[in-house]
């Protein structure tokens, strides 16, 4: 049973590390253990679940804007990782080709790129805190806003969506 719990913990840490939100080593973390690894019975970082609040931004843009977009989103990731540990639950940025038929993943690519940012917070007030903090502290905030306003770029934003359904279950790693 201990082996299974360790495997679950290792899987949770790996999943969290992939999306870029890793807690600092917990009290009691084993020396040489990966960041965020815990040796105590403390629960692993939690998933976004029903009742939490989401900030989701989807940007679709032309090839000419992708290099700048990559640089800005990488800067955003570094900023978020260093400044939001106290109130950010999860953070993920996905990037991929826009499809000619958005309902058919096998349809031809349009040549444009879509970025999908997904951030999860406990409260809507935390999302407000994020916007104020990022605008005041993140050096590339205005550059990202300007990038999103470029010609042939579409932006859709869910500023404070409440998670209605979630498959997260206490005690299970998904």
Domain boundaries, the chain: 1-45, 53-162
Tokens of 107: 């349809």
Cβ-proximal residues to 86 (8 Å cutoff; 6+ apart), any chain:
none
The whole-number mean pLDDT for each consecutive block of 10 residues of the chain, a chain of 174 residues, reads 40 35 36 45 73 97 98 98 95 98 97 98 97 98 98 97 85 56
pLDDT attached to residue 43: 52
Q: What does pTM read for this prediction?
A: 0.73
pLDDT attached to residue 29: 38
Query: Nearest Cα to 59, choosing from 128, 135, 109, 112?
Result: 112
- DSSP tag of 137: H
Alpha-carbon dihedral angle through residues 72, 78, 82, 85, given to the nearest 10 degrees: 90
| Whole-number Å distance between alpha carbons of 58 and 157 | 6
Residue count of the chain: 174
pLDDT attached to residue 171: 62
Write down the H helix ranges in the chain.
Answer: 2-19, 66-83, 124-137, 141-148
- Measure CA 111 to chain center: 25
| Whole-number Å distance between alpha carbons of 96 and 83 | 27
Residue 54: exposure state from Cβ atoms within 10 A (0-12, 13-18, ≥19): buried
- DSSP tag of 4: H
CB atoms within 10 A of CB 13: 21
- DSSP tag of 42: P
Please identify, in words, the CATH class of the domain defined by 53-162: alpha beta
pLDDT attached to residue 46: 82
């Amino acid at each position: 049973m201990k082996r299974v719990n360790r495997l679950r913990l290792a899987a949770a840490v790996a999943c969290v590390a992939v999306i870029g939100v890793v807690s600092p080593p917990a009290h009691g973390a084993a020396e040489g253990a990966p960041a965020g690894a815990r040796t105590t019975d403390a629960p692993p970082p939690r998933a976004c679940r029903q009742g939490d609040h989401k900030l989701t931004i989807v940007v679709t843009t032309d090839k000419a804007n992708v290099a700048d977009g990559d640089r800005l989103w990488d800067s955003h990731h570094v900023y978020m990782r260093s400044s939001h540990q106290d109130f950010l639950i999860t953070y993920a940025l996905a990037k991929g080709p826009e499809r000619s038929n958005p309902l058919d993943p096998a349809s031809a690519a349009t040549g444009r790129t879509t970025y999908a940012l997904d951030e999860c917070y406990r409260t809507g007030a935390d999302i407000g805190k994020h916007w104020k903090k990022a605008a005041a502290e993140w050096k590339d905030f205005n550059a990202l806003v300007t990038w999103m306003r470029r010609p042939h770029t579409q932006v859709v934003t869910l500023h404070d969506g409440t998670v209605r359904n979630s498959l997260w279950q206490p005690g299970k790693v998904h």
